[in-house]
Amino acid sequence: MSDERKPSGPPVARPIAVDPLAQSASQNEPAFIARPKDAPVYHGFPVLSDVVVDGFTFGKITDFEIEPCTEGDAFVIAPDNSRAGLVWEVSEDSYFQEVCAADSARWGVWAVSFPHSMASRENVRKNLQHVIPQLKERWQEWRKAQLSK
């Protein structure tokens, strides 16, 4: 996000999506807080197995299906099961920017704009399709770097 896009007020609380079937390493904490050893990043959040574009699958952190949202957090799973974070916003202004650099656990966190409301799984698929070219490029760069280590 550019400097002009920084929030002007306090953060807005959004509903968190939780995968009720995800195993937790704790009896008292949800799986996304107490990830089991060797569980991938974003474990404990739902994977939308019906929202796949070119082998990339969408996962939600902000539960836009419970409460309509124009911004939130999500993640994407690449064909090799590696993951990247998304900080999304429904906006007419198109952007794709790095929020957090890639590391060994994920190929970055990206601030992205989506042109369609997150009102249906079909719209989520269209939004994923919108950012797939940039996501693929970043994923391929990360994979190449991982293989050269």
Question: Left, alpha or beta for 42 (phi > 0: left; psi -120 to 50: alpha)?
Answer: left
Whether residue 78 contacts residue 107, with contact meaning beta carbons closer than 8 Å, is answered with yes
The C-alpha atoms of residue 78 and residue 66 are separated, in whole angstroms, by 26
Q: What residues form DSSP beta bridges with 127?
A: none
Which H helix or E strand runs over 126? Answer: helix 121-147
> What residues does each domain of the chain span?
46-147
Count of other CB atoms within 10 angstroms of residue 11: 6
> pLDDT tens, 12-47?
788 999 999 999 999 999 999 999 999 999 999 999
Mean pLDDT on 63-85: 96
How much is the pTM?
0.90
Query: Which of 16, 17, 43, 37 lies closest to 25 in space, CA to CA?
Result: 37
**Cα 134 off chain centre by:** 14
